[in-house]
Amino acid sequence: MVSKRAPKSVIRRLPVYLRILDHLIINNVEIISSKELSEETGFSAEQIRKDLAFFGAFGTRGSGYNTDYLRKKILKIIGLDGQTNITVIGAGHLGTALIRYYAQKNPYVNVVAAFDVDSSIVGQKIFDIEIVDISNIKDIVNKYDIKVAVMTVPAEHAQPVAEKVVESGISVIFNFAPVKLRLADNIHVHNVDLSIELQSLIYYANTNR
Amino acid sequence: MVSKRAPKSVIRRLPVYLRILDHLIINNVEIISSKELSEETGFSAEQIRKDLAFFGAFGTRGSGYNTDYLRKKILKIIGLDGQTNITVIGAGHLGTALIRYYAQKNPYVNVVAAFDVDSSIVGQKIFDIEIVDISNIKDIVNKYDIKVAVMTVPAEHAQPVAEKVVESGISVIFNFAPVKLRLADNIHVHNVDLSIELQSLIYYANTNR
């Protein structure tokens, strides 16, 4: 690719724009200025103009962005113009909740399978999504061309499971396990640690600061 | 308070240090250098020294930090030296998973109640945590001195529910609803949007970038 690599921070803001554009389009808003987008997102108007200019200039100076055109452009940039097959690894409470959440609420992804090691839940279904023994991951990932793994496994199993996930051909991991995964540089890992997020909030709860 | 207000980014890193210190202490490591902490966290050694110096100089130049002392200091700074009472608002799939997660895995918090509007689940219990009708929130928050609300309500209800939460006396909200809450400046809101996080990952999944 010749184009400049987009910074992570820009990529993380694109779906925020997308959600607002979806909402505007439903409400028949055809044009929006970067200033109005700024009010909706909390990002500065300058930041928004920069973000969008990164992928080509979509706005018309002095008038704004065409909501439908911008939405389609962003869908294409992110790769949401088609459905992406994902999997959830670890079908405990959090994993099960995430399977239901992503299966119901996200038009852009398809949860095609879940994996676990617990023989008491392997074979069960959540909606029509089967929980498969993790030993079969390579076959299933190949069969369905699964691109993203959402990992909700206990901390002590996260590293070896992540290695299995990578071996199976997946290069993008959304990791909920409270562990810094050590994987090859070409593997994209995004961590959300629900314990740490909550703990840092307690700082604000305990004193008036 | 006379001390300089700590930046959010510093506060968010403190629980990461805490987890590593817990692990080190279990393994009988008494002293750790900022360089070693850097390897464990991925933050630079300079960043770590700065973060910790923010609350007073805890390290000894050339030797490092005493793990037990540093752990206790950080617990105190965050306010994790006692338990904090929290609640989960919205006891759907994600809410239920979070109740179980925080009740089981976090020694620093106490999930004392959950709230919902759905009369078919109000009165039920998750472990020993009762799901209470949201109309009773003020009484329960007062009774248990609840400090933090974890909100997992549908997007369209998030703003009015957040206002109720604030009225009840809670000033810290961990919001999973895909909505930018508009609340008074003294209310601390931290958003995690699981759809947006996943969507931005799809960018990395769809092409080799």
Are A19 and B178 within 8 A, CB to CB? yes
Are B196 and A16 within 8 A, CB to CB? yes
ipTM exceeding cut-off 0.85 for this assembly: yes
Question: Quick check: B207 contacting A, CB < 8 Å?
Answer: yes
Question: Hey, what long-range contacts does B110-113 have (CB within 8 A, 24 or more apart)?
Answer: B110/B83, B110/B84, B110/B85, B110/B86, B111/B86, B111/B87, B112/B85, B112/B86, B112/B87, B112/B140, B112/B144, B112/B146, B113/B87, B113/B140, B113/B144, B113/B146
A114 contacts A95 by C-beta, under 8 angstroms: yes
Q: List helix spans (H) across A6-154.
A: 8-26, 34-41, 45-53, 67-78, 93-105, 137-144
Question: What is d(CA B8, CA B108) in angstroms, rounded to the nearest whole number?
Answer: 20
Question: What is d(CA A149, CA A91) in angstroms, rounded to the nearest whole number?
Answer: 12
* Tens of pLDDT, residue by residue, chain B (209 residues): 435 578 888 999 999 999 999 999 999 999 999 889 998 888 999 999 999 888 886 677 677 899 999 999 999 999 999 899 999 999 999 999 999 999 987 789 999 999 999 999 999 999 999 999 999 999 999 999 999 999 999 999 999 999 999 999 999 999 999 888 999 999 999 999 999 999 999 999 876 54
Interface test with A, best of B204, B207, B208, B209 (most A CBs within 10 A): B204
Question: What is d(CA B88, CA B129) in angstroms, rounded to the nearest whole number?
Answer: 10
Are B198 and A150 within 8 A, CB to CB? yes
| A55 Cα to chain B: minimum distance (Å) | 13
Q: Which of A5, A86, A198 sits opposite B106 (nearest CB)?
A: A198
Cα torsion A162, A163, A168, A174 to 10°: value is: 20
Interface test with A, best of B199, B207, B208, B209 (most A CBs within 10 A): B199
Burial A150-187 (b: 16+ CB within 10 A, else e): bbbbeeebbeebbebbbebebbbbbbbbbbbbebeeeb
Question: What is d(CA A193, CA A54) in angstroms, rounded to the nearest whole number?
Answer: 30
Question: Quick check: A182 contacting B, CB < 8 Å?
Answer: no
Domains of chain B in sequence order: 8-78 (1.10.10.10), 84-197 (3.40.50.720)
Q: Which of B108, B178, B190 sits opposite A197 (nearest CB)?
A: B190
From the CB of residue A62, how many other CB atoms can be counted at a distance below 10 Å? Answer: 6
Are A15 and B196 within 8 A, CB to CB? yes
Question: Quick check: A83 contacting B, CB < 8 Å?
Answer: no
Residues 6+ apart with CB under 8 A from B25: B67, B68, B71
The string of DSSP codes covering B6-19 is: PPHHHHHHHHHHHH
| Type and span of the H or E element at A173 | strand A172-175
Q: Which of B15, B204, B209 sits opposite A196 (nearest CB)?
A: B15
Per-residue pLDDT tens for A139-194? 999 999 999 999 999 999 999 999 999 999 999 999 999 888 999 999 999 999 99
**Model pTM?**
0.89
CA neighbor of B111 nearest in space, from B88, B138, B77: B88
